[in-house]
Structure 1
Amino acid sequence: MMRCLVAISALALTAMAAAAQVGPPTSQRTCGANRQLVMREGAVVLDTSPTTYARFVRSGAECLVDQFPEPAWVPSSNNPQCFIGYRCKDGSDDF
């Protein structure tokens, strides 16, 4: 029984690690492919350059309660400023 639980735990951790991997950079996909990925998944983390990545969402519904959606553009293979969706930004009470 213990061996079975260990095997299931190891499998779950492997699946979670695979799901957390970031795909190819946005610059290696077309603007439409990047946009479709965000629209299909709702929220996705993408490489925007060899050293940076970010979380993009299709709407404010994917943001936390104290966040708001801000338009986001990324480089793609056919458009240096491709509108991909939104990024969730923290709200501020400082005015």
Structure 2
Amino acid sequence: MRAVLFALAFPLAASPALAQSMPNSLDLSCAAAFDMVRQKGAVVMATGPNIYDRYVSDQRYCGLAETTFPVWIQTSDMKQCFVGYRCREPMVRNR
């Protein structure tokens, strides 16, 4: 019984450590944020407290039914810095 409780509690205890390792755009220069996305291909990056998204360098990192949309985020040195793209399902217009 104790082993089960420990196994359930351990991931909860590790969660804050995982969240702290996420890069935060407000701590990076625009060039550093852009380079990180370009080099890794896909990065989950915080853009403020409890705000984050996944940024990709190109279409290869999106699902088959998704397309890329350019995205600008705030960094330590710029209010609007182009870091790459977000993957989203294309908007379908009704005729």
TM-score by length of 2: 0.73
Q: Distance in 1 between matches of 2:93 and 2:78?
A: 36
Q: Which residue of 2 aligns with 1:89?
A: 88
Q: Distance in 1 between matches of 2:58 and 2:80?
A: 19
For 1:30-88, what per-residue CA distance to the aligned partner results, in whole angstroms no more than 9, with x for missing partners? 00000000000000100011111000000111110100000011100110100000000
CA RMSD in angstroms, aligned pairs only: 1.9
| In the alignment, structure 1 residue 51 sits paired with structure 2 residue 53 | no
TM-score by length of 1: 0.73
After the TM superposition, list the runs of 4 or more consecutive aligned residues in structure 1 that deviate by more than 4 angstroms.
none
C-alpha deviation, 1:91, in angstroms: 2.4
Q: What is the aligned length?
A: 78
Aligned amino acid, residue 88 of structure 1 = C
Percentage of identical aligned residues: 31
Q: Which residue of 1 aligns with 2:8?
A: none
Q: Distance in 1 between matches of 2:91 and 2:65?
A: 8
Q: Distance in 1 between matches of 2:77 and 2:43?
A: 20
Q: Distance in 2 between matches of 1:82 and 1:92?
A: 24
| 5+ residue gaps, structure 2 | 1-10
Q: Distance in 2 between matches of 1:39 and 1:23?
A: 16
Aligned amino acid, residue 58 of structure 1 = S
| In the alignment, structure 1 residue 30 sits paired with structure 2 residue 29 | yes
Aligned amino acid, residue 60 of structure 2 = A
Q: Which residue of 1 aligns with 2:6?
A: none
Helix, strand or coil at the partner of 1:87: strand
Q: Residue 25 of structure 1 contacts residue 50 of structure 1 at CA under 8 Å; is this kept in 2?
A: no
Q: Which residue of 2 aligns with 1:42?
A: 41
| 5+ residue gaps, structure 1 | 1-12
